[in-house]
Structure 1
């Protein structure tokens, strides 16, 4: 593989426009996941590439000119390059190849080739070398895998044995230790993702990944101040390239977890404006979901909300799971104007996403999360319009929050309307709330009692008639409290006339001393 890379760089220099186009197209095919089952066997590399039909590629490592593609090209084509990039990425970073190629020299990547032959002996590392860290971590991982008695203990041991051991072996220097652990976490994430197959529950794998994502977030915050120091610039530049590649290469169902890594590192580690602008240039021409998310986050950090929200609108429902983080950030910084702009576009997307989730528990979980964000904002700013709008749109999953809000703000008539809309029985409502409403706004309860009486009469049995009569007594007291006796008499006359064939109920009315006067 290293021999083919050297041939590639020497034969197809990037000073040539055509070669640059081949690189661009090859990268695009690779990053969009169009390469299928690329692998190396002996001195050959084989792969299939989806591009207006399936293209079959055979690469000869020892004699690059003998490589072939079913597209019919007689020289290097994007399909061949995409296949090679796929094989290369399985053990090395794309950045190391591209950097060496751009500089028209194999000097930058030959150390990587050499390291491949001694990887198994990488028992130590250089504090200032990212490639040395990764070789060391990989060696430790090989040792760990060979020591476990069963594959069934692999993932558990990765979190409870392998990574804790790496912590003890991390650099002691405070300014670089978090960066080492960040890359160690990212390495572990890759191993977890690689181990995923259809026989394992997705959520089990996702839960393990999130432990390492949490570590990335923690270590990123630890790097916030030391990342400003220029002595880390070389390490940080390599890290930026590596993390970008990992995101662009990541496929579903774990794009979200890898994007979290990208977010957290750009929030706290690569936070310089000139780096963000440079990163946006690196992402130009990339149209995958992963690239669009990366661009959106960078624009968000640069406060270029208009451009960021264009991407949100463009990607619509695909963005729904990712919007919570940006909204949370705006709430935390109390950025009222920005939050309103983001919610104007995001709330319909998030609402639709919540309603489309397959289970009630998931819908309720996401609703609770979103409303918590908006509650915090409403309490800080004393402006609750956005919170109320969201609760209305998220019914019935927002019932708990909406019911509490209406009662606490003494919107008792809307509270009653909500109970009727939900179809709740009067007997099932909390007594202390009904008592409070009777004191303050008895008229608001009229609809609840009228509905409860009608439902009791529909049951057509003596027990229900007694219940209806009892409810009538309470309702009568409410009419008296509101000084609406004339309306009460009209209601009672209509009720008696409409139920005159219900003899048992008429008897209950007589017992209850309901007369026509």
Structure 2
């Protein structure tokens, strides 16, 4: 089925043939705006494409894909202008390559009285050229059409995409070791786009995200496979087209899937495009675009260039909105043991990340992110021998960090702080691990006094025979701790206060006598 975008492209090609000089100038100007990143927004809105172009001020564009003559631009042009065409190029690049459009445009002949030629009619594509990204995408698109026709029900579509369609593409991928990973990388990006298109209210969001992450994992793997061959001269054209396509896929992506597409962008820049030293020119392409997607891309490129001050300036500007993305940069620095850089990033981003975790909607999610962050910080502390940030994070992430903080205090023999933590959490002495209590009794008996005092008061407060017996048993244990600390005079004062405060509780007074707590 021919899409409205393809219908508009057919009209465009037949109405503005490149055999005329003025149309070639129009295309050249639009391409320049597009490649310089001057198209800030381009998205579909019903039967229209709307966009904003930076060209001596902002130009607002509306392209009507049904009634082409109703298209307009705030520059005042009464026919197709460079801003309208640049907006369409940007929108087209989100799912196709610019090279494929221009190739069809060049091949086309001017329309005749018989009407426009069906340039974008679906055709069988049973093979592809190893050296043509456009032919790869046409081939994958054709295979996808065949797959959709073969499934018995749309309910099996997404499952089959990962378990049937993509495995088939693996079998049909080029055999050349230099080209094969790039083909599979683009096949994965294609699948991601199809998965995102299928998302609606009937599909659980997390289910869609899990499927997307499977393809993101493939992209990461294939990007690593391209690491050495990325500098090969024969891949130069393919990589340039890929870089353009992936950038525009990210810039055109809407919520709620910006994160997944950005991860894909990160992985290809980590291992593929960075090898061609294209980071400076990519930053120029993104210049002037203040969208979240563009800002994320700029931050990652600055991060790869080790321009941490510039990268962190953007992080601070976006703060909470950036928090989910910061984990990957911190993890990358931890993995590479870049201690000084990690320290710089943590100083800026730790407050942002901890606030974000507290704002997450569920305890499970808060705990999951806390565990992930503290694992990263544990490795950092072990490597640098500095645990100040680790401790600060544990404190600020309470109660979700209780497990790590409790263990840290016990293992570092900070027993009094360990007891303070139990009291803050409201835990009772009887619920704490016996071996830890025994260890603290040996090392620092005084630390346990507050836990025993509270436990005794709680037992007395229950006002029944069994609880009074429990209270006297706890008093005996506490007495032994007072003796160890050589505080017998303080103990006598304490037990007299207990006796005075409970003199109306006859049953408890009897238990005190049985326990020989007589200090008159």
Q: What is the TM-score of this pair, normalised by structure 1? A: 0.88
Question: Does the 8 Å CA contact 1:23/1:78 hold for their aligned counterparts?
Answer: no
Please name the residue that 2:10 is paired with: 2
Q: Quick one: structure 1 residues 49 and 339, their matched pair in 2 at CA, closer, same or farther if it must change by over 3 Å? A: closer
Aligned pairs (5 A) from 1:301-316: 301-316=304-319
Q: 1:193 to 1:216 in 2, by over 3 A?
A: same
Displacement, 1:90? 7.0
Whole-angstrom CA distance in 2 between matches of 1:344 and 1:108: 56
Q: Hey, what's the Cα distance between the residues in 1 that align with 2:346 and 2:266?
A: 20
Q: Does 1:27 align with 2:27?
A: no
Is the Cα–Cα contact under 8 Å of residues 57 and 79 in structure 1 kept in the other structure?
Answer: no
Structure 2 residue aligned with 1:177: 180
State the match for 1:41 in structure 2. Answer: none
Cα distance change of structure 1 residues 506 and 94 upon mapping to structure 2, 3 Å threshold: farther
Does the residue aligned with 2:25 lie in a helix, a strand or coil? coil
Aligned partner of 1:456 in structure 2 is 459
User: 225, 228, 234: which one pairs with 1:222?
Assistant: 225
Equivalent residues of 2:73, 2:83 under 8 A apart: no
Q: Deviations over 1:186-228 (max 9, x none)?
A: 1011110111111110000111111000000011111111112
Q: Distance in 1 between matches of 2:334 and 2:190?
A: 32
The corresponding residue for 2:481 is 478
Greater Cα shift, 120-129 or 301-310: 120-129
Alpha-carbon RMSD across the aligned residues, in angstroms, is 3.1
- CA gap of 1:340–1:60, structure 2 versus 1, over 3 A, is same
User: Secondary structure of 2:394's partner?
Assistant: helix
Q: CA deviation at 1:337?
A: 1.0
Higher mean alpha-carbon deviation, 156-165 vs 6-15, is at 6-15
Could you tell me which of 121, 126, 131 is aligned with 1:128? 131
Confirm or deny that 1:434 pairs with 2:434. Answer: no
Distance in 1, matches of 2:117 and 2:393, equals 58
Secondary structure of 1:29's counterpart equals: strand
CA–CA separation in structure 2 for the residues paired with 1:25 and 1:271:
19
Q: Does 1:205 align with 2:212?
A: no
How many angstroms apart in 2 are the aligned matches of 1:278 and 1:47? 28
**Counterpart residue number, 2:510:** 507
- Unaligned regions of 5+ residues in structure 1, if any? 39-45
User: Cα gap change, 1:294/1:85 in structure 2, threshold over 3 Å: closer, same or farther?
Assistant: same
Structure 2 counterpart SS, 1:192: helix
Give the 3-state SS of the residue equivalent to 2:64 in structure 1: strand
1:385-440, Cα deviation, whole Å (9 max, x unpaired): 22111111111000001111111111111111110110001000000110111111
> Equivalents in 2 of 1:467, 1:8: separation in Å?
95
Deviations 1:271-307 (A, max 9, x none): 1373011100000011110000000000000000000
Q: Aligned with 2:386: secondary structure?
A: coil
TM-score by length of 2: 0.88
Residues 233-260 of structure 1: per-residue CA shift (max 9 Å, x gap): 1111111001001101111110010000
Compared with structure 1, are the counterparts of its residues 500 and 357 closer, same or farther at alpha carbon in structure 2 (3 Å cutoff)?
A: same
1:94-133 matches, cutoff 5 A: 94=98, 107=106, 117=120, 119-133=122-136
Q: What is aligned with 1:444?
A: 447
- Please give the alpha-carbon distance, in whole angstroms, between the structure 2 residues aligned to 1:419 and 1:326: 34
Aligned position for 2:5? none
C-alpha separation between the residues in 2 aligned to 1:481 and 1:226?
71
Deviation of the 1:310 alpha carbon: 0.4
1:292 is aligned to 2:295: yes
On the 8 A contact 1:22/1:77 being kept in 2, the answer is no
Could you tell which deviates more after superposition, 169-178 or 226-235?
Answer: 226-235
Deviates more, 1:377-386 or 1:408-417: 377-386
Q: 1:425 to 1:267 in 2, by over 3 A?
A: same
Residues 12, 19 of structure 1: 8 Å contact kept: no
**SS of alignment partner, residue 28 of structure 1:** strand
Q: Give the aligned partner of residue 36 of structure 1.
A: 45
User: How far did 1:3 drift?
Assistant: 4.1
2:364 is matched with which residue? 361
* Cα distance between partner residues in 2 of 1:451 and 1:363: 31
**Distance in 1 (alpha carbons) for counterparts of 2:336 and 2:218:** 23
Give the distance between the partners of 1:114 and 1:126, measured in 2 at CA: 25
Alignment counterpart, residue 74 of structure 1, candidates 74, 78, 94:
78
- Which of 257, 260, 265 is equivalent to 1:257? 260
Count of matched residue positions in the alignment of Structure 1 and Structure 2: 496
CA distance in 2, matches of 1:504, 1:404: 40
Q: Does 1:58 find its partner at 2:64?
A: yes
Secondary structure at the aligned position of 2:46 is classed as strand
Render the CA deviation track for 1:343-367: whole Å, top value 9, x for unaligned: 1111111101100011100000000
Change (3 A) 1:22 1:261: closer
- SS of residue matched to 1:252: coil
Q: How far off its partner does 1:504 sit?
A: 2.1
CA distance in 2, matches of 1:372, 1:360: 18
- In the other structure, the counterpart of 2:400 is 397
> What is the deviation of 1:114?
9.8
Contact 2:27/2:85 (<8 A) preserved? no
Q: Distance in 1 between matches of 2:500 and 2:355?
A: 48
Q: Distance in 1 between matches of 2:34 and 2:432?
A: 69
* Aligned 8 A contact 1:125 1:136 in 2: yes
Q: How far apart are residue 75 of structure 1 and its match?
A: 3.7
